[in-house]
Structures are given as C-alpha cells and as structure tokens.
Amino acid sequence: MITVGYYAAAEDAAGTARERLHTHATTVGELAREVCERHGEPLASIVTVSSFLVGDETTRDPKTSIDGVSAVDVLPPFAGG
C-alpha cells in the first residue's frame, strides 16, 4: 500500500489530492504508469513533465526505487519556481 499525493495541476487531473493504492510497483516509473492508467490522459500529460518526491528525495528518474516507501508525491512544474 502506498499513498500518492497530487499537487497543483496533477490534483486537478486526478480529481483528488491524495489516494492510497495497493500496488506491486517497485519504481517511480511503474507507479507513474499505474496512476496514468487509473486516471487517464489528463494526468498522463502532467506526469510526463513532473518530478516525484520519494521520501526526502526529489527525482525525475523512472528507475528510482519505491521499495519501503509509504508515500510518493507527484510534483508538476510550478509557476515561478
């Protein structure tokens, strides 16, 4: 079980700020594919330009492990920074 947090445009596209998922994903890329399949194209177009907060680390690397992580946040580009 993992909690996925969505911020800004990702929240709008997913229709929620946070959800708990049962997943077999072991990497950021696998989790990203899963949430894109779950929420469709509006979220998929945002996820492709987003970074992910995994624990205390921000990454864009789809191979980043999420083993043992309880939450991953989807961080789309924010205006002004």
Per-residue pLDDT tens, the chain, 81 aa: give them.
999 999 999 999 999 999 999 999 999 999 999 999 999 999 999 999 999 999 899 999 999 999 999 999 999 987 554
DSSP string over 12-66: HHHTSSEEEE-----BHHHHHHHHHHHH-HHHHHHHTT-EEEETTEEE--TT-B-
Tell whether pTM > 0.85: yes
Which CATH superfamily hosts domain 2-75? Answer: Beta-grasp domain (3.10.20.30)
